[in-house]
């Protein structure tokens, strides 16, 4: 085999891998009468280490998740694929137990990853009939719930998945009301910097998603990324993902 053909083969493998990753974050997504949502992932490289998911679950439930793998590029992409596939499998067997799902993901990631690799994960289960969110935050940037001018931080959980084989994870519970907005994000959003080296921080995100009293998740996501772009002038050094869900 010539060197030229080897380059072509590797290049095609990379394109195929990017296509698989993109498709993996595209659906099937849950449909809900009491929750609408939108998510967007902007990657620094063709393959990235962020992911989001909205999974249909039995008994009028939906899982909302966002994760961020350590590192960048192919290694991070393989890690996040492991997290997402493990999460989807566990959710099929423990649809009403967020802690059980995260425990299963942690064991799988720890068993199959190098010691210095891990991922932060926020996994939650939304119950349509009661508008209750049960969640576990595994070392992730705390998502926020905006409700009539107040902010609730979704912090209950434990360490990132993959760090320890038997990490304990505690489940948090939040009762939501029509009009509440859930905003989950990765650190590439709040750690973006401007020309002066200042970080956007979570205050910048909150200001962006709160402007104009928006209640449509697609508009909220678009406004957040527009504000982020204006702040950073297009500089992006890390994958950036935002997931917004609005309760009805």
pLDDT at 189: 96
pLDDT tens-digit map of 130-158: 999 999 999 999 999 999 889 999 999 99
pLDDT at 2: 41
pLDDT at 124: 98
pLDDT at 3: 38
pLDDT > 50? residue 43? yes
Q: Which residue has the higher pLDDT, 236 or 114?
A: 114
Q: Which residue has the higher pLDDT, 1 or 175?
A: 175
Could you give the C-alpha distances from 181 to 85, 143, 243, in angstroms and in order? 27, 10, 10
pLDDT tens-digit map of 101-118: 999 999 999 999 888 899
Residue with tokens 């973006």: 192
* Strands 61-69 vs 181-185: parallel, antiparallel or unpaired: unpaired
User: What is the DSSP secondary structure assignment for residue 116, as one 8-state letter?
Assistant: T
Q: What is the mean pLDDT of the chain?
A: 88
Torsion of CA 8, 51, 67, 220, to 10 degrees: 140
Choice among 44-58, 160-174, 183-197 with the minimum mean pLDDT: 44-58
Boundaries of every domain in the chain? 27-247
**Does pTM top 0.85 for this prediction?**
yes
pLDDT at 34: 95
pLDDT tens-digit map of 66-93: 999 998 888 888 899 999 999 999 999 9
pLDDT > 90? residue 8? no
Q: Which residue has the higher pLDDT, 27 or 216?
A: 216
Rounded Cα distance between 52 and 84, Å, is 8
pLDDT > 60? residue 28? no
- The CATH architecture one would assign to domain 27-247 is 4-Layer Sandwich (3.60)
């Amino acid at each position: 085999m010539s060197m030229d053909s080897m380059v072509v083969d590797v290049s095609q493998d990379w394109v195929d891998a990017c296509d698989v990753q993109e498709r993996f974050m595209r659906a099937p997504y849950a449909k809900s009468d009491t929750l609408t949502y939108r998510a967007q992932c902007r990657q620094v490289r063709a393959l990235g280490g962020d992911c989001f998911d909205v999974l249909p679950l039995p008994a009028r439930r939906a899982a909302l998740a966002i994760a961020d793998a350590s590192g960048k590029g192919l290694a991070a992409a393989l890690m996040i694929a492991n997290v997402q596939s493990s999460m989807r499998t566990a959710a099929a067997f423990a649809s009403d137990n967020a802690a059980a799902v995260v425990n299963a993901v942690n064991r799988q990631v720890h068993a199959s990853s190098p010691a210095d690799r891990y991922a932060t994960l926020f996994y939650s289960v939304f119950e349509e009939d009661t508008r209750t969110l049960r969640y576990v935050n595994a070392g992730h940037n705390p998502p926020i719930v905006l409700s009539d001018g107040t902010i609730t931080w979704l912090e209950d959980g434990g360490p990132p998945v993959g760090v320890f084989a038997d990490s304990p994870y505690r489940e948090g519970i939040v009762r939501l009301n029509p009009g509440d907005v859930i905003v989950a994000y990765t650190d590439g959003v709040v750690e973006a910097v401007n020309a002066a080296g200042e970080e956007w921080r979570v205050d910048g995100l909150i200001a962006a998603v709160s402007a104009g009293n928006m209640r449509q998740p697609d508009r909220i996501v678009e406004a957040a990324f527009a504000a982020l772009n204006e702040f950073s002038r297009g500089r992006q050094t890390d994958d950036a993902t935002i997931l917004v869900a609005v309760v009805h």
